[in-house]
A and B are shown apart, each in its own frame.
Chain A
Amino acid sequence: MNQAAISATIWPIAFFPLLGALLAYVLGRKERDWAGIIATAASALSFLWVVKLVWALPEAHYFEDQLFQWISLADLKVDFTFRVDQLSAVMCMVVTGVGTLIHLYSTAYMHEDEGRHRFFAYLNLFMFSMLLLVLGGNLMVLFIGWEGVGLCSYLLIGFWFKNLAYAAAGRKAFVVNRIGDAGFLLGIFLLLHLVGTTDFVALQPAIMSGNVALGTDFYTLVALCLFVGACGKSAQIPLFVWLPDAMAGPTPVSALIHAATMVTAGVYMLARMGFLFVLAPAALAVVLVVAVATAFVAATTALTQYDIKKVLAYSTVSQLGFMFMAAAAGAFWVAIFHVVTHAFFKACLFLGAGSVIHGCHHEQDMRHMGGLYKKMPITCITYGVSVLAIAGIFFFSGYQSKHAILGALEHWHNPHLKEWIEYILILVKFTAFLTAFYMTRSFVMTFLGEYRGHAHPHESPWPMTVPLIVLAVLGAFGGLALSGSLGFSLEHYLAALNFGAAAEHHHESIAAALINSWTGLLGVGLAFVMYTQLKELPGMFLRLVPPLSKLLSGKYYFDELYGAIIVRPLEGLAAFLWKVVDQGMIDGMVNGTAAFVDATGELRRITQTGQLRYYALMLFGATVFFIIFYYVL
């Protein structure tokens, strides 16, 4: 970041949600409805402050707000610093903007829940953490937010904690995230050990100047450690298993945390540390493999899901894979581009799903929906727009970012995987096709056809529909607006993320673009046909290859696999360590020593017989022994 610093007041951005969280909880305890208003207001204020700052942010500059020295010990100095540069600005806009909309949505969605003061407090706390994450001027502050969002995610997934399965899902999310965090921490330790700082401004020149003793291996090692962290947070293989379960939380939470913002933290972190990753091509190759595998696995899994939120969850995992692909190609701005567009349409999808669920009285199974376009027109339209966006149909935002991703992959110039990139591209395009397919499937099953449920669906109130509309508009036009076509180029704006690995750029005609979105069109079309006209076809497909269908509907059995090779063995080991090692061996030895002393004490029954003659004999014997042994011999 060879940019100039301008000091500015940044802390209110994070402070508003924090204050909001406290107030929402405290005041909300008295009057539940205030909680939502307070939280939404706090979020909105934060958004306004972000807008104010971003508006004022000059090119090639960043704002800095040094609050206080957090840790200061020997060589280890960590400042509590906030920075707003272009990358943070984009993220902040998304977080606070989408966040505010979702807050607004939640006021209606949650309006009957007894614990909504808790809900809004957590939600605002999440905003606070997320803002720390994106505003943090060094890895440590980022890490605060990193763990903080994990905590809020935990709390919100388990929000309906009376259901123990939900609570367990929250725990799973936290623990899996922790595994990633452990890797992240190791990365931080490595950086601290070898570079001595985690401050991005100081880190970048230090890394890029190549003064670090260990060279490429070191970069690769650090990059991989950090990527482990990103895998945890952004739900990549092998740590993605928590995200589908995370759908246990209220739907706005899924929209905000498990789609639009938190899960993209890993991508953000990669972009932030891009200067390191570009120096570690081997690590980037790993990222690519993981990303592609994740995208493909998640997409195929999504094909068979019936729970509308599960479909969206797997689609999120898959889309996160796309983001990481971009990052792996070194096109960090593209990754962020997809983060932004994804935030729009995926938030919209989730909120739409929430609206459906709300309208259908907490029914989540798509087999019990259908025909809702009549009952819930706004929801239907916004959902449809977003499906087109995620499918990557030209002009919609998803097309812009996905196209950029493919473009970046086509310009793969990493020595690793160079000969494989063609095949990988085919797989990626197939995945994009699948995306379009299963999203259309969900749309068709939900909104078209006849209603198959027993509830009385109704359109949602305005606080829910307004965010839907806004997000749908953004999902439709946002990509275009950021692509440079309308005068603002995200790529240009995020020029600082260009570490000399950018893809070549060319404008394309509308026709070309339409052709380029053939995968999406094919997916949408095929799914539409299959699920509206040839309703027997999907079932037949699956019956044709039973093992495959089992594998897919079983979600590749990741949970079962982890259970069998990690969780249960560890549980068994824990029980073994406790019962056998701790109580049996170690404590057994301790008690055994005591028992040995006791047993020795019982020897007195042999020696202390009470017989006078025996005593005399012992006395005499001992005398003789001592005299002979010590004095004569």
Chain B
Amino acid sequence: MNTLWHDMSLCAPALIMGAGALVLMMLEVLLRGPWPRAGVAGLFLIAALVSTLFVNQEYEVGQTILQGFIYADPFAAFFNLLICGGALLALMIGESYLQREGIEARGEYYALYLFSTTGALLLCNSAELIMLFLSLEIMSMALYCMCGSALAVRRSAEAALKYFFLGSFSSAFLLYGIAVLYGLTGTMQIGAISTAISYKEPILAMIGVGLMIVGLVFKIGAVPFHFWAPDVYDGAPTPVTAYMACVVKSAAIGVSIRILWVCFGALFPLWAGSVWTIALLTMVVGNVFAVKQRSVKRMLAYSSIAHAGYIMMAFLAQGGTYEGGAAALYYLVAYTVMTLGAFAVLLAVTQGPGGGAFSDDISKFNGLGSRRPVLAILMSLFLLSLAGIPPGMAGLLGKFYVFSAAIKSGYVGLAIVGVLSSAISCFYYLRVIVAMYFVEDESSEVSPVLAAPSAYFHGAIAVCAAGVVFLGIFPGWLYSFAAQVTERF
């Protein structure tokens, strides 16, 4: 009993979040009229975040709880923080937009939001493959609904449909992989599999590993399993896109690192080749396809694919010192703040779907530098950071770490492709800056109505900007934290 309580307390973030979702649903039934749904959801997120700070101290290396279903190790602690924090920021960014678009009014959105975040939390913590599958589904299914939450918008429904079918399709692959691994080892505990994967048919092992990787990489949105990503990112309401690009991607990457390094750690030569290829394709395709985008949102979608590629490159740096892990985690944090920031500005600049005048064409950014100088400066900061050009130091350091890790592990060729593709990326990031500063807003019509963002929005964007600056100047503490976390699982 004592153990159970102890274990439950270590799960506090996920529990609080799940409870929050339930409470929100109850309140939706009980309360009439408008009420601060986002505020309540935010409170739960804050509570979860605060609880992580407490429970994280008890997370130890290799510790599993709840009969080996959940990891309570520093790696999990890191992702607890990242996911809760990211979700909170994404919530704050999207709040006013959702309210304006009438999505919030229907009530279930924030419940789904919390469910999805719960799933993401558990996904990174799961120590068992069925647990992994379940949490993945919790996260995904809530997300499918969130993608389609702009009911009146056809694009939103289409995005939900595509995401749902392809997501389920890939989940089936993942599940099949789990089944094969189970057949191979007789267990679904990650720790047990890692030691047991040695007997039996190698062919089955390969199929199991392969299918697992496909299922996970799909969620990351890596090429060639990325096809859903641009469409879904594009069609989903922008706050959902921001959430997907950051929180969901973080969770998927977290679990991928754990599966690849812990579960299949011994099989590194087996999967390294495929990850190498995937990382390479992801970087190149993501960047190249973004070049000609006129839709900023879609451009950010491709860009987030490309960034996943950089991070995946670090997967390969599974050398003795696990530098790749630290690099990947640092990059993930930097990526989260800068991408959220960019989406925030996008939200503020583009009009909603209200009168069918929905557009996130790059021309919406024309002359932003004079219309909204602060917003434009922040956007420049985020974009430069994404491009890896100082003063966007956070992104530059992130790239610095992952490329360094790759080269240290001997992947010079991959790193060269990576830096060249990142040079390509400068083109499309800078194009937005071109629009903001270099092109005067020549349209005689009224300049696009800017959403009147709330205090939440301002707070979130300030946090993102501060994050980019702070991470850029003092990356050391985060990096060493990430290094500790990934040193041993």
A-side residues, CB < 8 A to B, are 594, 597-598, 600-604, 607-608, 610, 612, 614-616, 618-619, 622-623, 626-627, 629-632
Indicate whether A604 sits within 8 Å of B231 (C-beta atoms), given known contacts A612-B166, A619-B166, A623-B214.
Answer: no
Is A630 within 8 A of B274, CB to CB?
yes
Chain B's interface size range is: 35 or more
Max chain B Cβ within 10 angstroms of own Cβ: one of A597, A619, A623, A631: A631
Which of B166, B206, B207, B214 sits near A615, CB closer than 8 Å? Answer: B166
Which of A597, A600, A622, A627 sits near B206, CB closer than 8 Å? Answer: A627
Q: Complex formed: what's the CA distance from A619 to B290 in Å?
A: 21
- A-B CB pair tally, cutoff 8 Å: 80
Is B273 within 8 A of A630, CB to CB?
yes
Chain B min CB distance to A317 (Å): 59
Measured between beta carbons, the chain A residues less than 8 angstroms from B145 are: none
Measured between beta carbons, the chain B residues less than 8 angstroms from A623 are: 173, 210-211, 214, 225
10 more contacts with CB within 8 A, not counting A603-B288, A612-B165, are: A604-B292, A608-B227, A618-B227, A623-B211, A626-B213, A626-B274, A626-B277, A629-B274, A631-B206, A632-B206
Q: List 13 A-B contacts (CB under 8 A).
A: A597-B427, A601-B291, A603-B288, A607-B227, A608-B227, A612-B162, A614-B227, A616-B169, A619-B166, A622-B214, A622-B224, A630-B210, A630-B271
Task: Answer yes or no: B192 CB below 8 A from chain A CBs.
Answer: no
Is B206 within 8 A of A601, CB to CB?
no
Is B224 within 8 A of A615, CB to CB?
no
Measured between beta carbons, the chain B residues less than 8 angstroms from A610 are: 231
Is A632 within 8 A of B161, CB to CB?
no
Interface string of B272-307 (1 = CB under 8 A from A): 011001100000000011111000000000000000
Max chain B Cβ within 10 angstroms of own Cβ: one of A604, A616, A630: A630
Indicate whether A626 sits within 8 Å of B289 (C-beta atoms), given known contacts A615-B162, A615-B166, A616-B169.
Answer: no
Closest to A619 in B: B225
Closest to A607 in B: B227
- Rank and list the top 7 A-B pairs by shortest CB-CB distance, nearest first: A631-B206, A627-B210, A601-B291, A615-B227, A622-B224, A601-B292, A630-B274
Measured between beta carbons, the chain B residues less than 8 angstroms from A622 are: 214, 224-225
Interface string of B184-216 (1 = CB under 8 A from A): 000000000000000000010011011101100
Indicate whether A598 sits within 8 Å of B291 (C-beta atoms), given known contacts A616-B165, A619-B166, A627-B211.
Answer: yes
Measured between beta carbons, the chain B residues less than 8 angstroms from A619 are: 166, 169-170, 214, 218, 224-225, 227
Measured between beta carbons, the chain B residues less than 8 angstroms from A603 are: 288-289
Closest to B213 in A: A626
Closest to A613 in B: B165
Q: Complex formed: what's the CA distance from A597 to B207 in Å?
A: 36
Closest to B162 in A: A612
Is B161 within 8 A of A612, CB to CB?
yes
Q: Complex formed: what's the CA distance from A602 to B224 in Å?
A: 17
Chain B min CB distance to A606 (Å): 11
Q: Complex formed: what's the CA distance from A600 to B281 in Å?
A: 13
Is A627 within 8 A of B207, CB to CB?
yes
Q: Complex formed: what's the CA distance from A612 to B228 in Å?
A: 8
Task: Answer yes or no: B230 CB below 8 A from chain A CBs.
Answer: yes
Measured between beta carbons, the chain A residues less than 8 angstroms from B292 are: 598, 601-602, 604
Which of B166, B203, B206 sits near A616, CB closer than 8 Å? Answer: B166
Task: Answer yes or no: B270 CB below 8 A from chain A CBs.
Answer: yes
Is B166 within 8 A of A601, CB to CB?
no
Measured between beta carbons, the chain B residues less than 8 angstroms from A629 are: 274
Chain B min CB distance to A615 (Å): 4
Closest to A622 in B: B224
Which of A600, A614, A618, A631 sits near B224, CB closer than 8 Å? Answer: A618
Indicate whether A604 sits within 8 Å of B166 (C-beta atoms), given known contacts A612-B161, A618-B227, A627-B206.
Answer: no
Measured between beta carbons, the chain A residues less than 8 angstroms from B427 are: 594, 597
Closest to B158 in A: A610
Is B225 within 8 A of A608, CB to CB?
no
Q: Complex formed: what's the CA distance from A381 to B214 in Å?
A: 110
Q: Complex formed: what's the CA distance from A431 to B119 in Å?
A: 108
Chain A min CB distance to B177 (Å): 10
Indicate whether A608 sits within 8 Å of B230 (C-beta atoms), given known contacts A623-B211, A631-B274.
Answer: yes
Closest to B424 in A: A597
Is B288 within 8 A of A632, CB to CB?
no
Q: In residues 7-38 of chain B, which contact A (Cβ within 8 Å)?
A: none
Is B227 within 8 A of A631, CB to CB?
no
Closest to B272 in A: A630
Measured between beta carbons, the chain A residues less than 8 angstroms from B206 are: 627, 631-632
Q: Complex formed: what's the CA distance from A598 to B287 in Å?
A: 11
Which of A604, A626, A632 sits near B214, CB closer than 8 Å? Answer: A626
Indicate whether A631 sits within 8 Å of B166 (C-beta atoms), given known contacts A602-B292, A612-B161, A626-B274.
Answer: no
Q: Complex formed: what's the CA distance from A604 to B214 in Å?
A: 22
Chain B min CB distance to A224 (Å): 52
Measured between beta carbons, the chain A residues less than 8 angstroms from B203 are: 632
Measured between beta carbons, the chain B residues less than 8 angstroms from A627 are: 206-207, 210-211
Is A597 within 8 A of B210, CB to CB?
no
Measured between beta carbons, the chain A residues less than 8 angstroms from B288 are: 597, 600-601, 603
Q: Complex formed: what's the CA distance from A612 to B160 in Å?
A: 12
Q: Complex formed: what's the CA distance from A604 to B305 in Å?
A: 14
Chain A min CB distance to B425 (Å): 11
Measured between beta carbons, the chain B residues less than 8 angstroms from A604 are: 289, 292
Interface string of B425-439 (1 = CB under 8 A from A): 001000000000000
Measured between beta carbons, the chain A residues less than 8 angstroms from B224 are: 618-619, 622
Chain B min CB distance to A485 (Å): 84
Closest to A627 in B: B210
Q: In residues 407-447 of chain B, which contact A (Cβ within 8 Å)?
A: 424, 427
Is A631 within 8 A of B225, CB to CB?
no
Indicate whether A608 sits within 8 Å of B210 (C-beta atoms), given known contacts A601-B288, A601-B289, A619-B170.
Answer: no
Chain B min CB distance to A594 (Å): 8
Closest to B284 in A: A600
Q: Complex formed: what's the CA distance from A614 to B224 in Å?
A: 13
Measured between beta carbons, the chain A residues less than 8 angstroms from B274 are: 626, 629-631
Q: Complex formed: what's the CA distance from A158 to B337 in Å?
A: 66
Chain A min CB distance to B108 (Å): 25
Q: Complex formed: what's the CA distance from A607 to B286 in Å?
A: 12
Measured between beta carbons, the chain B residues less than 8 angstroms from A618 are: 224, 227
Closest to B275 in A: A630
Interface string of B347-387 (1 = CB under 8 A from A): 00000000000000000000000000000000000000000
Chain B min CB distance to A620 (Å): 8
Q: In residues 132-169 of chain B, which contact A (Cβ within 8 Å)?
A: 161-162, 165-166, 169
